[in-house]
Structures are given as structure tokens and as C-alpha cells.
Amino acid sequence: MVATSDEAGPNELNADELHADELNTEEPAAAADVPAVAAPPGAHQLDPSNTDWWKSAIFYQIYPRSFSDLTGDGVGDLAGVIDKLGYLELLGVDALWLSPIMVSPMADHGYDVADPRDIDPLFGDLGTFDELIAEAHAADIRVTMDLVPNHTSDQHAWFRAALDAQPGSPERARYIFRDGLGDNGDEPPNNWHSVFGGPAWTRVTDADGAPGQWYLHIFAREQPDLNWENPEVFADLERTLRFWLDRGVDGFRIDVAHGMAKPADLPDMDLTKAGLLSNEDDDPRFNNYAVHEIHRKIRAVIDDYPGAANVGEIWVDDNERFAEYLRPDELHLGFNFRLAKADFDAVEIRTAIENSLAAVQSVDGTPTWTLSNHDVEREVTRYGHGDLDLGTRRARAMLLVEMALPGTVFIYNGAELGLPNVDLPDDALTDPVWERSGHTERGRDGCRVPLPWEGTAPPFGFSAATSTWLPIPPEWTDLTVEAQLEDIESTLSLYRHAIEIRYERTEFSGDVVEWYGAPDGCLAFRRGEGGVICALNATDESVPLPPGEVLLTSSPLDDGQLAASSAAWLV
């Protein structure tokens, strides 16, 4: 039985297409309870005695395909991460967050997991992963990894068994299969859309060739949603959690942490609010209350490993609902994306900060700050609106703003180099959003281009291969790590200096933010306990600085004043 139909549409998979996919994709291993390589003796979290490290940590997100390729196939790998640990130590980060590296057919670049307890050969193997953990810990850097509990790959052993099984079978009960609507079941069970575009349901064909049931996939059709009402699903996740924690992983970033639980009646959604890669708080596909019981079960496992912590991807705007995820028995941290969504405007930025602080206050939680990630347009491009120099100035200023705030900071690889998004040619695009949207949305590839390390021409030391999985633009010559390490005024040097100061100065202590009066178009705040002051000038003219000794500026002062599109730290 295969997911197919006689006339394949956007929510149906033609049998010939499935066969071609299998020819072009290495057969993933089935999920196994017995690891191919046993966990190293004595493996554990970096410092089990430190259970609060995450409250002020600086995480560095590595998108493995794009960080460093040591095997020479044009795609980044774990050996490449090991090779660059010295750079990460020099940068000064506390922890790494690895985007998915588990076995996957890569329909969504690893967020479609076929075996959650093994490393995809594209990135290496378990032995290499164990080496990464050991060497990172030796450098006093923690390692966290992506966890994808909402769905599996359609190549997962469970889903293959579900396709071969009958309606109502235990195999299908692990996923969300439903009969279709209409006289012949030709209509999907409800009107839900995929966040990648198109219907969120795909119909399967029975063994006798007749159209069968439909299965739910909030993302791509290659990512069938799991049924979290089935106890087998959590039992398997627990095996996965302990598998990696026993190898010394220091925690997880939980993908779609506001997903997983679905309303029992699967009501129709408001299609006027259906957007690509977005959802609102009343969207029935997400943020259902039953998800909190899932997080409590996850937390109970994490608590068996002192020193480990988890952070959830939570696209929830309402502060009260957001805070529910950060109750003491649920997530340690929750991604708050308000600052990443704010334009370079003093009012928008202050509102985003105030909301982010308020969102965690009721549960005494820790705020998180990020300006970009693998799903978000890079800040240089977002702030510049086509002007790269302006975008760079503004991105540098916002670095000082987020680093001055209390809580946890997440840096997306390449942000420290001031990389912009890349306008890639159509034939280079790989994001499923491009295809699912009928080539109307270009997707997220532009922020996932490999990092430039050295030299004067692509691939800039990223790989020994002449071509990389996404092309690197030749104009990045001045943005390489090598070039910026030699320039004390570079964005990389600013990041290093800011991180160093943030750790060394006691003025960056305390959880309270006190707002200063500031000129129109500007903002200023002080950390209540430590006393460091951050001033941001979001206007086009220089403005006077608040009183105090200047510690660091994102751009040189203009005759003693804070230059346009810049920020400063003062004590």
C-alpha cells in the first residue's frame, strides 16, 4: 500500500513519483531500540551540578548542512563542526544547538526523521557524534540537539507499517488516519492547510488499488503527524530522549513545541488566517491544551539528567498562553520570536522587549532573545530593506540590545559575520515551501547558505568541493571568518567583544529592565541590579548619549554623540 491516487494532485502522491523518490534517496534505516554504537563509558552532561546554566547562556545554532564540510561532498557535517570548535570557543558561546542530524530522507532537510536514534550518514555516524560531545565538553561548550516529536518521515518504519496495515489497526493508530468526507470519501476529513502550502491531508491507496483513508501532515506530505493520544508514541520518544541523554547531550530544542496535541473532533480552521509558515493563537492545528501533559512527561525524563535543559519552539502570541509552557514542570525555556519579528523601530523594539519580559513573569521564567534562525530572514536583510550597509549597521546595533537584556541569547550561525540573505536562482531552491506553494513563495533557503571561512572565492573554505548544496555568492569575500578576525571593526570582532564584556562585567546582572527617557525614535534601558545602560538610536541623525562611561558601541561615536542606527553600552 502506498500514498497515492489515480490522479495525483497537490495532496496525493503518484506511485511513479514515489518510486523515483526511492531511487534518488538512500534507504533510511528503520528505527531501532539497540544502538549501533554503545554510548561511551562515563558519558554525561557537561556539569550535572550546574542546573541553572541555561538561564543566561549564549547558544549558537548550527545548521549542520551549512556550517563546515570536512568530507568534501559540498554538505556540512559533524566532522566539520569538530574542526571548528576552536572558532566557537574563540567566539565565546556556552552551548551549541544542532539542527536535525538524525536519519532522514531530507524532504525537509532533516525535520522528517526516519530513525530518531541514529545519525544520518550525510553528517557522519554515532562515533563522530560522540567525539563531538567529548571535544565540545572539553572546550567547556554544551551540545543540544533538535528533537522533532510532532511528526516522522513517511519513510519511518512505523509509517511504512501503517501504509501496509488496515484502517483501525494498531499500526495506523500511531498516526492520524481518517476516512474522507463525501459519498466516496473523496474529500479530506477537514479543511486544514499545511503550513508549507496546500492541503494538510494526503490520501492513501489500498492494496486492491481502491482509494483509502487520508493521513494528516501539518507540514509536508512526507511528514505525517503522530497521534499523541497513543501511549506508544511517548514511550518511543522517551527511548529517544534517554538514548541521546545517555550519550552526554546537554538538552534539546523541541521543534513545533506548541504542536503535537490535536483536538479530538478535528474542527475546520479559519482559512482567512491560513498563511505559509505561520499560525494564530486560535488555530486548531496548534496550541491545544493537551500538549502541556506531553511536555510534563518530557520534563520528567529530562529531570533524570541533572544539567540538561530543553527549549521549545513556541509560536504563541498571547502572553498568558505562552507562559503556560514555562511552568516549573514543563519547558525550561521557550523561544519568543517577538524581537525577531520587530522592525528597526524604537517603539516596535520596546514593545517586543516588554512583551517578552511580561510573557515569562507570571511563572518566574527566563526570557529568550534571538534575531534570526534557519526559518527567519537574516537580520541584515530584514533591517536593511535592500540596503546592505544600513542593514549591517542596524543588525550590529540590535546585537547590543539583545545582549544587554536579561535571559538567554540564541545566535544563528553566520549572524556573527553579518551575513545577509541570498537571492538564489530558482533552480537552486530546495525548500519544500517552494514546491508546495506552486513557486509563489521562495522559502527559507536564502538564510541557509553555507558559511564563508577563508579565501577570496567560493566556496571560501567551507568545503573542498567546487560546488556546495546551496551556492555561496562570490561577493562574500570580505565577510569570511578569516577576513573579519583580522579586522577589529568587523561584525565578528563586535560579537566577540560583546560576549566577553557580557560575561566579565557584573553590571550585566539582574532580571529587571528599567526604561530611561530617550529622544524620539530612540530607546534606553538599564539593568536594575547590575546597572548597565543600553541606548539605541533608531533614527537617521546622531543623538546625545545618556550619562556614563561608554563600554562599547556598535558604530563609532559621531562627535561624542550616538550615531544614527547604532547602539551603546554605558556604566
Task: Provide the annotated active-site residues.
Answer: 255, 313
Residue 469 corresponds to which cell in the numbers above? 548544496
CB 413 within 8 A of CB 343: no
> d(Cα 496, Cα 93) in Å, to the nearest integer?
9
Residue 89 in grid coordinates: 570557543
- Kindly provide the residue ranges of all beta strands, DSSP E only, lying in 138-248, ordered along the sequence: 142-147, 177-178, 201-205, 211-216
CA angle 254, 259, 262 (to 5 degrees): 145
d(CA 179, CA 203): 9
What is the C-alpha separation between 418 and 177, in angstroms, rounded? 45
Please enumerate in sequence order all residues whose Cβ is within 8 A of that of 553, keeping only pairs 6 or more positions apart, or say none: 400, 562, 563, 566, 567, 568, 569
Phi, psi of 151 (to 5 degrees): -155, 170
State the sign of the Cα–Cα–Cα–Cα dihedral 468, 481, 250, 219. Answer: negative
Alpha-carbon distance of 500 to 91, in angstroms, equals: 9
Among 180, 177, 66, 81, residue whose Cα is nearest residue 133: 81
Question: Which of 369, 349, 380 has its CA nearest to residue 447?
Answer: 380
Q: Counting Cβ atoms within 10 Å, is residue 263 exposed (0-12), middle (13-18) or buried (19+)?
A: exposed
The contacts of residue 513 (CB under 8 Å, 6+ apart) are: 353, 357, 405, 406, 525, 526, 527, 528
